[in-house]
Chain A
Amino acid sequence: MAASGGAWEAVIGLEIHAQLATESKIFCGAPTSFGDAPNLNIDPVTLGLPGALPVLNRRAVELAIRLGLAVGSRIDRASRFARKHYFYPDLPKGYQISQFEEPICVGGQITCDVDGVEKTFGLTRIHLEEDAGKNVHDPKTGRSYIDLNRAGTPLVEIVGEPVLRSPADAVAYMKAVHEIVVALGVSDGNMEQGNFRCDANVSVRRPGAPFGTRTEIKNVNSFRFVGRALEYEIARQIAVLEEGGAVVQETRGWDDDAGVTRSQRGKEEAHDYRYFPDPDLMVVHVDEALIDAIRAELPELPRARRLRFEHSYGLSAYDADVLTQSPARASYFEAVAGGVKDPKLAANWIMGELLATLNREGKDLEASPVPAAALAELIALIEGGTISSKMAKDCFSAMVADGVAPAAWVKQHGGQITDEGAIQAAVEAVLDQSPAQVAEFLSGKEKVIGYLVGQVMRQTRGKANPQQVNAVLRASLEARR
């Protein structure tokens, strides 16, 4: 693409809105639940009724701090809310309460891999604000309706520096932010419900030149759309410039069906938001004790955990990725790996038998019929030679079906036969009963040994150690040569 080809360079900055995972709205007690009948989750504050006043939801502040600490922001000890004014039917007060000059989190960075290359992108700020409601247009009747259920739900706006240089950068960055907010429990990240969405600012320039005129693609709520919209918009801007035209600073929307961005609002209609500090709300003072308490509860972020799994457990990048898909899966793995010699064996069992079983039974890991300790016990039995891998699979099935403990299963079914004499006896018996196969082997058709191993295993009802059986068989066959 031209943007990375030298002739033109894209400059992209994302403003990501994530809905905070609070029970109630940011400035009142109305619930934040999704999917209710329109205008159910409202109260005087949500409606902006005369006389109603906002009271800040402490949980929203804590979640914003949690995110800020996780991405290395400076937490402002005294941040402030401001009013941002514009008229729109879904904005009940005629202004949105947001943070303007004094946001709660300043700076920070997001590290992610773009096509296998590690990159770090700076953040400008993270601030708290309230969401607006929703206008619903009925094309059949031409009527418009307003649903204020969403109005006043708490958001963080994560403002990135204009340091992304390609749609691939932007998609990787957005995915990384999504992964972090979900891992922290700051947001459920549900993109279909609009709980995680972004505005993409993009311009193009000759490398080294000052920033070009930018356009803003509003309200994109999928990773794929962001990539496609940016690809289109960059190409569009380059075409405009190469034809001698000028990019118009404006807001555009992505139409995924048509695969184009369209102008929504030009600069001539740009708002003067008339920001000023909201006199209804106090300065948000954050003390060290709160910051320390939140910092102490910060979980390991998924990317850090992936890297640690690769380095500490010697896992492949793929295995580390699969095993860190959820905090539950990662901690399950660590519990199992802690009880066995070979972490890779633990990884294989979890990614193989366990996930297949859970998948088949439609269960979450939290509801696994096989606790981590039991799986570790089973793997340790394999490692200790008490049972073979094949026996372990039978044992595992029993564990899933009846919840039987591995030790009990071994007690009932007997362990693996590793006694040299017993194996030798079984081998001799099979060889005595199979003169034709013995002759075949001795004539050079060594593949027949597979059949003979099978016979010995059958004789021992599957319990003989297969490696030993193999070795003893070869030795005995050679002895008959």
Chain B
Amino acid sequence: MNTFATAGELLAALDAGEVTSVALTEAALARARAGAELGAWLHLAEEQALTRAADVDRRRAAGEPVGALAGVPIGVKDQIVTRGIPTTAGSKMLAGWVPPYDATVVERLHAADAIVVGKLNQDEFAMGSSNERSAFGPVRNPWDPSRVPGGSSGGSAAAVAAGHVPLALGTDTGGSIRQPASFCGVVGLKPTYGRVSRYGAIAFASSLDQIGPFGRTVADVARLMGVLAGPDDHDSTALRSPVPDYLAGLGGDLAGLRVGVPEEYFVAGIDPEVEATVRAALAQLEAQGATLVPVSLPHTPYAVATYYILATAEASSNLARYDGVRFGHRTAERVSDVADLYAKSRAEGFGDEVKRRIILGTYALSSGYYDAYYLKAQKVRTLLRRDFEAAFAACDVLATPVSPVTAFRLGERVDDPLQMYLADIFTIPSSLAGNTSVSVPCGFDGAGLPVGLQLIGPPLEEGRVLRVAHAYEQATAWHRRHPGEEGA
């Protein structure tokens, strides 16, 4: 099969008996090994994957019912726990840890007969925007290995863009699916907060974290999203609303669609090539029948500060469990008492960015500072949510850049955390508001690096943003360009 065949094409070939899941799985594993210099994979689960693939092949051949992704290889971000498969969240703290349970989304992948081929590299505990913060080395961008793939789900985006696997799972807290999807020229969806169960997603910022799908086409992302979404008795924050058939919902034109263009997202600081590319995409939507509506999200300038208070506060709490006592890294040095055990284990196990955020978050929650920081930030969050509610009264979706820049060079920003944080300026507001947004390829800059268009919808309107993204994708050819190919 073609390296860049979609999941939809693979399923058709499997159903037609033209290929087996074992063959697809072996090919995926071979590509992952051959592409090891990208650093996308942390662990390949060859034995488990091939066993499952053989089982799916047997059942399919016997005419038994099989799931919606039967036999299709998929990669899973290492932030998501997998029973019997090492899970590190990109941290030395969890090096060697083998979870005794599966995340709900992994159970759903298994129920859909998808083949989990391995675990994907990421920024440590999903904290980063470049994938340079993994304890196990950076991930490189398949379009230009001197550049970052974005983060924190950099491994997921890179593995899909490079054709190792057609699908991957990522997690998005402030842009960690959309920004790497944009940098790597693939499709990435951040679902509405609560649409996909977080059970088994290692917590970074619990009120923001969402698991979501990566694919090279909108249809593949819709197909995978249908498997992931839905209520879960293990997650109190999982929404109970019924899950539509996202794949069947694709199609139709954009006539009558009102596309909101928030003025705050086209401001100084945005790369002119990115702006020009996104504006061309807006014109394309208009040409397809959509109406562009200028809207305002006036609290946007406060979003990054708000996010870095709330996300770090929650992170400082969520990461308290890594104390070297029950699981994960424990110092090998002599310790004087249990406090010393904690201090040494945590000092050794966590990387600098994680420590920075734990310190920031601990401060924000401290007695005497809570009201000024955490509580205030919660209030701003409410204002940001209202911004979106007001905007959606005037339009159906919002269209914006995903990132102000295209993929930057490794090492370029790693010593400037503030600059790195600002890279998420267009993805953070949507995360804080809890609505859904997708990143879809919309062109390339002069250096041949992908640019992403972000389509933001109201809560639970995954179907709507996917439908718009799909219509755009079908009218353009960006998704047919792949790294390393002629003309790329």
Residues of chain A having any CB pair with chain B under 8 Å: 44, 47-56, 83, 85, 87, 89, 92-95, 146, 272, 274-276, 279-282
B323 touches A51 (CB 8 A): no
Q: How far is the CB of B176 from chain A (nearest CB, A)?
A: 16
Q: How far is the CB of A144 from chain B (nearest CB, A)?
A: 8
Shortest distance between the CB of A374 and any CB in chain B (Å): 50
- Determine if B100 and A282 form an interchain contact, defined as CB atoms under 8 angstroms apart: no
Residues of A within 8 Å of B327, CB to CB, are 47, 49-50
A276 and B362 alpha carbons, distance in the complex (Å): 11
B304 touches A (CB below 8 Å): no
For residue B328, which residue of chain A has the nearest CB? Answer: A50
Decide: A49 near B100, CB < 8 A? Known: A55-B233, A274-B362, A280-B206: yes
> In the bound complex, what is the Cα–Cα distance between A54 and B317 (angstroms)?
15
Q: Does B465 contact A (CB under 8 A)?
A: no
> 22 A-B contacts, Cβ less than 8 Å apart?
A47-B326, A47-B327, A49-B81, A49-B99, A50-B81, A50-B87, A50-B97, A51-B203, A52-B101, A52-B200, A85-B320, A93-B321, A94-B320, A272-B366, A274-B366, A276-B365, A276-B374, A279-B237, A280-B203, A280-B237, A282-B236, A282-B237
B323 and A94 within 8 A (CB):
yes
B367: A residues at CB distance < 8 A: 272, 274
Q: Are B320 and A95 in contact (CB under 8 A)?
A: yes
Q: Within B339-382, which residues are at the interface with A (CB < 8 Å)?
A: 339, 342, 362, 365-367, 370, 374
Q: Cβ of B201 < 8 Å from any Cβ of A? A: yes
Task: Output the nearest chain B residue to A271 by Cβ-Cβ distance.
Answer: B367
Q: How far is the CA of A374 from the CA of B32 in the complex (A)?
A: 83
Contact check, B321 vs A94: say whether CB atoms are below 8 A apart.
yes
Taken together as a complex, chains A and B put the C-alpha atoms of A93 and B323 apart, in Å, by 9
Complex contact A50–B202 (CB within 8 A) = yes
- What per-residue 1/0 map shows which CB atoms of B208-226 lie under 8 Å from chain A? 0000000000000000000
B366 touching A279, Cβ below 8 Å: no
Of all chain A residues, the one with the shortest Cβ separation from B361 is A274
3 smallest CB-CB distances across A and B, nearest first, come from: A94-B320, A279-B207, A279-B206
- Measured between beta carbons, the chain B residues less than 8 angstroms from A279 are 205-207, 237, 314
The answer to the question of B245 belonging to the interface, with a C-beta cut-off of 8 Å to chain A, is no
Report whether B320 and A53 are in contact in the complex, using a CB–CB cutoff of 8 Å: no
* CB-CB nearest in chain B for A39: B326
Interface mask (B192-203 → A, CB under 8 Å = 1, otherwise 0): 000000111111
On chain A, the residues within 8 Å of B103 by CB distance are 51
Residues of A within 8 A of B320 (CB): 85, 87, 93-95
- How many B residues are at the interface, by size bracket? 35 or more
Smallest CB separation, A188 vs chain B (Å): 28
For residue A339, give the distance in angstroms from its CB to the closest CB of chain B: 51
Q: Do B235 and A53 have beta carbons less than 8 Å apart?
A: yes
- Rounded to whole angstroms, the CA-CA distance of A55 and B198 in the bound complex is 12
Residues of B within 8 A of A89 (CB): 323, 325, 338
Q: At the interface, yes or no: B80 with Cβ under 8 Å from chain A?
A: yes
For B374, what are the chain A residues with a Cβ–Cβ distance below 8 Å?
276
On whether the beta carbons of B326 and A280 are closer than 8 Å, the reply is no
Among A48, A53, A272, the residue within 8 A (CB) of B236 is A53
B contact set with A: CB distance below 8 Å: 80-81, 87, 89, 94, 97, 99-101, 103, 198-203, 205-207, 233-237, 313-314, 316-317, 319-321, 323, 325-327, 338-339, 342, 362, 365-367, 370, 374
Chain A residue with the shortest CB-CB distance to B363: A274
Q: CA separation between A95 and B81, bound complex, in Å?
A: 21
Measured CB to CB, the closest approach of chain B to A92, in angstroms, equals 6
Separation of A276 and B367 alpha carbons in the complex (Å): 11
| Bound CA–CA A279/B342 (angstroms) | 25
In the assembly, what is the distance between CA of A425 and CA of B477, in Å?
A: 126
State how many angstroms separate the Cβ of B125 from the closest Cβ of chain A: 9
Among A276, A281, A282, find the residue whose CB has the most chain B CB atoms closer than 10 A. Answer: A276
- Residues on the B chain within 8 Å of A83, using CB: 317
Complex: A44 Cα to B326 Cα, angstroms: 12
Q: Which residues of chain B are near A280, meaning CB under 8 Å?
A: 203, 206, 236-237
Least Cβ distance of B81 to chain A in Å?
A: 4
CA distance A281 to B235 in the complex (A): 9
If the complex has contacts A44-B100, A276-B374, are A51 and B200 also in contact, measured as CB distance less than 8 A?
A: yes
Nearest neighbor of B199 in chain A, beta-carbon distance = A53
B residues less than 8 Å from A51 (CB atoms): 80-81, 99, 103, 198-203
* Contact residue among B207, B237, B321, B366 (Cβ-Cβ distance under 8 Å from A50): B321
Q: Nearest CB to that of A135 among chain B residues?
A: B338
Q: Give the complex CA separation of A52 and B233 in angstroms.
A: 12
For A92, list chain B residues within 8 Å (CB): 321, 326
CB B238 to nearest CB in A, in angstroms, measures 9
Chain A residues whose CB sits within 8 angstroms of the CB of B339 once the complex forms: 87
**Least CB separation from A88: chain B residue:** B338
Q: Could you tell me the distance in whole angstroms from the C-beta of A106 to the nearest C-beta in chain B?
A: 21
Q: Which residues of B contact A146 (CB under 8 A)?
A: 325-326
Which chain A residues border B234 with CB–CB below 8 Å? 53, 55
Among residues of B, the one whose C-beta sits closest to the C-beta of A272 is: B367
**Chain A residues with CB under 8 A of B100:** 44, 49
Least Cβ–Cβ distance between B167 and chain A, in angstroms: 21
Q: Within the assembled complex, what's the spacing in Å between the Cα atoms of A280 and B97?
A: 24
CA distance A51 to B76 in the complex (A): 14
CB distance from B217 to the nearest CB of A (A): 29
User: Cβ of A50 and Cβ of B326 under 8 Å apart?
Assistant: no
In the complex, A237 Cα to B151 Cα: how many Å? 59
- Give Cα A146–Cα B99 distance, bound, in whole angstroms: 20
Q: A50-B87, A281-B236 are in contact. List 15 more A-B contacts (CB 8 A).
A: A44-B101, A49-B81, A49-B327, A50-B81, A51-B99, A52-B200, A94-B317, A94-B321, A274-B365, A275-B370, A276-B317, A279-B237, A279-B314, A280-B236, A280-B237
Q: Cβ of A276: which chain B residues have Cβ within 8 Å of it?
A: 313, 317, 365, 370, 374
Residues of chain B contacted by A281 (CB below 8 angstroms): 236
Q: How far is the CA of A146 from the CA of B327 in the complex (A)?
A: 13
Residue of A nearest to B101 (CB): A44
Q: How far is the CB of B96 from chain A (nearest CB, A)?
A: 13
Question: How close is A54's CB to chain B, nearest CB, in angstroms?
Answer: 7
Which residues on A sit within 8 Å (CB–CB) of B101? Answer: 44, 49, 52
Distance, CA A54 to CA B234, complexed state (A): 7
Q: How far is the CA of A272 from the CA of B367 in the complex (A)?
A: 6
Residues of B within 8 A of A274 (CB): 316-317, 362, 365-367, 370
In the complex with contacts A274-B366, A276-B370, A279-B206, A54-B99 CB distance below 8 A: no
Distance of A264 from chain B, by nearest CB (Å): 15
Looking across the interface, which residue of chain A has its beta carbon closest to that of B91? A50
Residue of A nearest to B368 (CB): A272
Please indicate the chain B residues that have their CB under 8 angstroms from the CB of A282 in the complex: 236-237
In the complex, what's the smallest C-beta–C-beta distance from A101 to chain B, in angstroms? Answer: 11
Query: What residues of chain A lie closer than 8 Å to B362, measured between beta carbons?
Result: 274
- Contact partners of B370 in chain A: CB under 8 A: 274-276
A50 nearest in chain B by CB position? B202
Given contacts A85-B320, A92-B326, A276-B313, contact A52 B199 (CB under 8 A): yes
Q: Which residues of A contact B203 (CB under 8 A)?
A: 50-51, 280
Chain B's nearest CB lies how many Å from the CB of A467?
73
Does the CB pair A53–B99 fall under 8 Å?
no
CA of A83 to CA of B326, assembled, Å = 20
Q: Which residue of A lies closest to B313 (CB)?
A: A276
A275 CB contacts on chain B under 8 angstroms: 365, 370
Specify which chain B residues have a CB less than 8 angstroms from the CB of A47 in the assembled complex: 326-327
Which residues of chain B have C-beta atoms less than 8 A from A49's C-beta? 81, 99-101, 327
B77 smallest CB distance to A (angstroms)? 12
Measured CB to CB, the closest approach of chain A to B135, in angstroms, equals: 15
The complex places the Cα of A4 from the Cα of B32 at a distance, in Å, of 80
Q: Which residue of B lies closest to A27 (CB)?
A: B236
Cβ of B321: which chain A residues have Cβ within 8 Å of it?
Answer: 48, 50, 92-94
Within the complex, what minimum Cβ distance (angstroms) separates A269 from chain B?
Answer: 10
